Structure 1
Amino acid sequence: MTQTFDTIIVGAGMVGAALATGLGQQGIRVALIDQASPAPYQPDSHPDIRVSALSAGSERYLASLGAWPRILAMRATPYCRLAVWDETPNPLKRLVPRSLTEVEFDANSLGAPHLGHIVENSITQLALWQTAETETDVTLITGHSVRDLVQSTEYATVTLDDGSQLQAQLVVGADGAMSRVRELAGIGVTRDQYEQQALVISVRYRGNVEDITWQGFYPSGPRAFLPLHSAGEQHPGESWASLVWYDHPARLDELKAMGEQQLMAEIQQHFPERLPELTHIDARASFPIARQHAKHYYQNRVVLAGDAAHTINPLAGQGVNLGFQDAQCLQGVLKEARRGGEDLASAHWLKLYEHRRRPANQRMMLTMDLFYHLFSNAIPPVHLARNLGLGAARVLPFARNRVARYAMGLDEQLPAPIQQIVNRLPGLGGL
């Protein structure tokens, strides 16, 4: 027997679960499909290796869904400051004092209580899964993957790996960068692989939970510190953090092969001096870095959201925030389609969704590329230019704060001078 819904969402990760919740709250019947349900929360568990910096804009969206209080009831670490500086050794550094090339964004100067929260991905997903479960119009289907997808003029039919079938007006692919839905819909992608990969390391350090996240830039890539929660009574006076080390794959393979003490010494030696004293390394994993963009966001009765539509350099942790913006936009567009009694897969509404999201996602992708290429080299003229740029950002707080407010989701546009630079970058034509 074929089950019928208004919308089928494939992928119950953070973006898919958020969209399912939002659509369910609007009375749109949703089937949410994933191969596994999230693990229950364990207060004493060690932190997830995957974490995200959720912006103020994402927090507002998650609060509207009812998920944000659930996240706060588990684990979330607010950060009030973000620091960026250049660590590249170069004779020209003496021309620009270090004190002038470190830029720090502070929530107080933005009139905000914090810049964002560092949250484990598993916790965000679990909170959204819990909110989805409370919606009567959301049906959770776990333990299955999509085997086939057929589209007609009236509906799309999804066949699962057990042979069961689901029908809906619209199928949403929220199933990640290697999206099966995107493949079945025949939507191609453009993809650029970066030379570096990212090594993520969960550590404990001596000291209280810090309120700052920072990145020091090296020719091989940035090295970042993201504060997490207290290590609890079992480790008094210690806190958890996530470290990110960008480098060439061969170098990261060396680091992953090291024992705990050797790796700890390597980190303390090669990370910026402000890194707290480490006491324990809990987990490590490396991830490839690629920029990928779907050639279309929709095809007939299929639409893409989150990593299925786009992946970016994780330099500023904007990936999941862009995904939540996709979900919120698509949720609003489908609400208008339903209000007008129209087909949820109407080309008019799906085209409007792509028109709103593709340029915004492309801007962020190219902005991250600009930072990546600007900082990931030691060419003297470029090195001097970026130090002068950091110095200018330091002494021009208005422009600096406007960029920060854009990244936080508080402002919808970049400052005009920055926007003009981004608009001149190749790849924005035809948007």
Structure 2
Amino acid sequence: MQTTFDLIIVGGGMVGSALACALRDASLRIALIDGGPLQRDNSPQNEHEFDPRVSALTVSSQRFLEHLGAWSLMVDERVSPYRHMQVWDGLGTGHIEFHADQIQHPVLGHIVENSVTQAALLDRLQTQDNLSLLAGERLQTLLDDGELGPRLRLESGLELEARLLVAADGANSQLRACAGFAMREWDYLHQGIVTTVEVSESHRKTAWQSFLETGPLAFLPLPDSDDGRHFCSIVWSNVPDQAERLMALDDSSFCQELERAIEGRLGSVLTTDQRYCIPFRQRHAVDYVMPGIALIGDAAHTIHPLAGQGVNLGLMDAAALAEVILHAHERGDDIARLAVLQRYQRQRKGANLSMMGAMEFFERLFHDRSMPLRLLRNSGMNWVDGAPMIKQQLIRRAMGLQGDIPRLAR
């Protein structure tokens, strides 16, 4: 089989698959490597069963996925638009509401199961002529003695080389570690409980978020079933002891605690799917690139899921890197040259750090229990809620409609 490529992407998740798909019309030899099957699961889908992993996709992410030809496939399968967002301080009176009408837009975003996005991208990749899919393959080590550029040795013994390698293999990236990228990281000392729940009242196309003493709780709207049942995906951030206690509860007791925590705003919490507990940790690569290698998505940065921006940042990384590669290739430039790759880093590093800084600020702001700060926090939320111009700016930035947006996502 072919063992030399112009570009090898390690990691076939949403971000790696999106990058490969964005380069479908380029005269580049591309390989996509992943330990999984790299094809959709075609088993029958129960309308009452949801992937516990969901993303709040912004309008800019939607536009990028439309460009890739994946969005229509996702809509055909299952997406949940939301037009309204309610945020409040569970310990006080602070409250902010956001609505799509405030910026004359049909939606604020869409809640989409990660498996739906992944399946749509994989469908697109199956027909991509310039792409080799290497499923069930895992990276063993990185060598630097290839004739073209870096050389990969896989656990199967296969060796591949390419002018450019892209690490899209997640927060614990093996390629990033092999290449020796320096990281800054710290533990949030919080864990997130994620699952799907059925509620007795409609979510009304609204995303709900309460800031509790132990951490934020989000109820994200999922599609109603044909028989009128209502579902939400939840992300409940807690300190480790509290998370352990909640995970140990039986389903009925957990639903009762969850209903109290959300103040019954969606009626009764009737049922819960299997619960998963995920530790929250922030990571950020000091540099995203070195000669012949680039990091994208969680391999470059992970943030607190406070606003559901992690996947959106990764998709914008993929869009920006694709633009840089396409532009360099059209000009006859070396796509692996450090000066070329630094164009991608300049575009994305500042934007990612800005979002990470904002999430860090809000996480610390709502984690502080002191009474003076709590009063200031509640007053500030209510003031912003009454300031339409500021709210419009916040909405546009959260939707990915403001700032340095890659051309493919506009």
Give TM-score scaled by structure 2 length.
Answer: 0.94
Q: How far apart in 1 are the matches of 2:44 and 2:263?
A: 33
Match of 1:307 among 290, 295, 298: 298
Give yes or no for contact 2:90–2:210 (8 Å, CA) kept in 1. Answer: yes
Aligned partner of 1:316: which letter?
A
**SS of the counterpart of 1:201?**
strand
1:135 aligned onto 2:128: yes
1:44 aligned onto 2:46: yes
Q: How far apart in 1 are the matches of 2:230 and 2:193?
A: 20
Corresponding pairs, count = 401
**SS of the counterpart of 1:230?**
coil
Q: Aligned residue for 2:279?
A: 288
Match of 1:121 among 114, 117, 120: 114
**SS of the counterpart of 2:24?**
helix
Q: How far apart in 1 are the matches of 2:30 and 2:383?
A: 50
Give yes or no for contact 1:30–1:137 (8 Å, CA) kept in 2. Answer: yes
- Does the C-alpha gap of structure 1 residues 330 and 413 become closer, same or farther in structure 2, counting only changes over 3 Å? closer
For 1:241-390, list aligned pairs within 5 A: 241-390=232-381
Give yes or no for contact 1:19–1:331 (8 Å, CA) kept in 2. Answer: yes
The 10-residue stretch of structure 1 (306-315 or 211-220) with the greater mean CA deviation from structure 2:
211-220
Q: Aligned residue for 2:408?
A: none
User: C-alpha displacement at 1:20, in angstroms?
Assistant: 0.5
Give yes or no for contact 1:10–1:175 (8 Å, CA) kept in 2. Answer: yes
Aligned partner of 1:40: which letter?
N
Give yes or no for contact 1:17–1:128 (8 Å, CA) kept in 2. Answer: yes
User: C-alpha displacement at 1:25, in angstroms?
Assistant: 2.7
Give yes or no for contact 2:184–2:286 (8 Å, CA) kept in 1. Answer: yes
Q: Aligned residue for 2:220?
A: 226
User: C-alpha displacement at 1:275, in angstroms?
Assistant: 3.0
1:84 aligned onto 2:87: yes
Give yes or no for contact 1:298–1:350 (8 Å, CA) kept in 2. Answer: yes
Deviations 1:286-332 (A, max 9, x none): 11111100111112211100000000011000000000110000000
**SS of the counterpart of 1:229?**
coil
Percent identity over paired residues: 38
Give yes or no for contact 2:202–2:266 (8 Å, CA) kept in 1. Answer: no
Deviations 1:250-309 (A, max 9, x none): 111111111111111121222233133222111210111111001111122111000000
**SS of the counterpart of 2:274?**
strand
Q: How far apart in 2 are the matches of 1:161 and 1:284?
A: 33
1:16 aligned onto 2:19: no
Deviations 1:399-420 (A, max 9, x none): 1111110110111179xxxxxx
The 10-residue stretch of structure 1 (41-50 or 384-393) with the greater mean CA deviation from structure 2:
41-50
The 10-residue stretch of structure 1 (305-314 or 247-256) with the greater mean CA deviation from structure 2:
247-256
Q: How far apart in 2 are the matches of 1:41 and 1:403?
A: 40
Q: How far apart in 2 are the matches of 1:151 and 1:408?
A: 41
**SS of the counterpart of 1:279?**
strand
Q: How far apart in 2 are the matches of 1:304 and 1:373?
A: 28
Q: Aligned residue for 1:145?
A: 138
Deviations 1:172-222 (A, max 9, x none): 000000000001111121101002111112111224453000111112111
User: C-alpha displacement at 1:29, in angstroms?
Assistant: 2.1
Q: How far apart in 2 are the matches of 1:22 and 1:302?
A: 18
User: C-alpha displacement at 1:377, in angstroms?
Assistant: 2.2
Q: How far apart in 1 are the matches of 2:62 and 2:338?
A: 30
**SS of the counterpart of 2:273?**
strand
Q: How far apart in 2 are the matches of 1:32 and 1:255?
A: 39
Match of 2:161 among 160, 167, 170: 167
Give yes or no for contact 2:69–2:124 (8 Å, CA) kept in 1. Answer: yes
Q: How far apart in 2 are the matches of 1:326 and 1:394?
A: 32
User: C-alpha displacement at 1:2, in angstroms?
Assistant: 5.6
Q: How far apart in 2 are the matches of 1:13 and 1:398?
A: 38
Q: Aligned residue for 1:188?
A: 182
Aligned partner of 1:182: which letter?
R
Q: Aligned residue for 2:6?
A: 6
Give structure 1 stretches of 5+ with no counterpart. Answer: 415-431
Q: How far apart in 2 are the matches of 1:143 and 1:49?
A: 24
Q: How far apart in 1 are the matches of 2:64 and 2:263?
A: 35
Aligned partner of 1:44: which letter?
N
Give structure 2 stretches of 5+ with no counterpart. Answer: 406-410
User: C-alpha displacement at 1:139, in angstroms?
Assistant: 1.3
Q: What root-mean-square deviation, in Å, do the aligned CA atoms of Structure 1 and Structure 2 show?
A: 1.6
Q: Aligned residue for 1:203?
A: 197
User: C-alpha displacement at 1:41, in angstroms?
Assistant: 5.8
Q: How far apart in 2 are the matches of 1:124 and 1:160?
A: 27
Aligned partner of 2:14: which letter?
M
**SS of the counterpart of 2:328?**
helix
User: C-alpha displacement at 1:121, in angstroms?
Assistant: 0.6
User: C-alpha displacement at 1:15, in angstroms?
Assistant: 0.2
Q: Aligned residue for 1:106?
A: 99
User: C-alpha displacement at 1:39, in angstroms?
Assistant: 2.2
Q: Aligned residue for 1:59?
A: 62
Give yes or no for contact 2:215–2:236 (8 Å, CA) kept in 1. Answer: yes
